[in-house]
Amino acid sequence: MAEAASARRTRITSEREAELYMSVLDLLREVGYDALTMDAVAARTRSSKATLYRQWGGKAELVAGAIRQQEPAASGINTGSLRGDFYAVVTREDDVRIDQNYALLRGLATVVHENPDLLRALRELIIEPEIEELREILGRATERGEILPDNPAQGYLLHMLIGAFAVRSVIDQLPPTQSFLPSYIDAVVVPALGA
C-alpha cells in the first residue's frame, strides 16, 4: 500500500505535491470535509481530476496525506529518556501550528462516522505511523530499563494523549499549548507507564 502510493507519487514533483497539499488544507479550512470536492481541488490547483485520482486514489487519501505532510515526523526524536522523548513529541510543533492542526483533525473527527474511507485513510496515513513512532520511543525506554515490557498502559498511549487534546480543546476551550502538554505527560503518561 505504502509502496503503491509512493510509486504513484513519483509522477509529480515534491514541490508540486506540497503546493497541492497546501491548497487542499486551505479548502478544508474554508468549506469543511463534506463540502470539499475533487472538482474544487482540481480547479484551485489547476490539475485534472484524473491526475488527482491517479495520484491519491480519492478525497480521503488526499486530505489525510495533506495533513500528514505538514506534521513534522517524530521519527528523528531520541533524547535518551522516556520523558524527554515525549516532551519532544508534544512540543515538536509550536503553539500556533499545533492548534491549527488539531482544529483540522477535530473537524475531521466529527465526520469520520459517516465517512469510513476517511477513517481508513487517517488510520493508515496518520494514526498508524504515529503509533509506530511512539512504539519506537517505548521500545528504547524498555531497553534502557525505564519501563517494563508488559506494562499495560503501553496499549493506551493514544487514549491518554487524545484525551488530553480533546478535553483541553472541546470542554475547556483552551489551546493544547507547549506548557499544558508536558505537564500532562508528567502527571499522567509517565506515571501510568510506571517510569
Residue 58 — φ and ψ, nearest 5°? Answer: 180, 175
Q: Is 31 in the site for a second copy (CB under 8 A)?
A: no
Cβ distance to a second copy smaller for residue 149 or 191: 191
The C-alpha cell that represents 71 in the structure block = 506534521
Question: Buried b vs exposed e over 152-184: b needs ≥16 C-beta within 10 Å?
Answer: ebbeebeeebeebbeebbeeeeebbbeebbbeb
**Residue 47 Cβ vs a second copy, minimum distance, rounded to whole Å:** 31
Cβ distance to a second copy smaller for residue 30 or 39: 30
Q: Which residues inside 126-155 make contact with a second copy, applying CB under 8 A?
A: 127, 151-153, 155
Amino acid at position 171, single letter: I
Only one of the segments 20-28, 63-71, 86-94, 167-175 lies at the binding site for a second copy (rule: CB under 8 A); that segment is 167-175
From the list 105, 87, 103, 125, the residue with the least C-alpha distance to 5 is 125
Query: From CA 112, how far away is CA 153, in angstroms rounded?
Result: 26
Q: Is 173 in the site for a second copy (CB under 8 A)?
A: yes
Cβ distance to a second copy smaller for residue 56 or 184: 184
List the Cα angle 125/126/132 in 5-degree steps: 100
From candidates 31, 148, 158, 174, binder to a second copy by CB under 8 A: 158
Only one of the segments 56-64, 75-83, 85-93, 178-186 lies at the binding site for a second copy (rule: CB under 8 A); that segment is 178-186
From the list 165, 159, 157, 185, the residue with the least C-alpha distance to 106 is 165
Q: Is 75 in the site for a second copy (CB under 8 A)?
A: no
The site for a second copy (CB under 8 A) is made up of 109-110, 112-113, 119, 123, 127, 151-153, 155-156, 158-164, 166-168, 170-171, 173, 183-184, 186-189, 191-192, 194
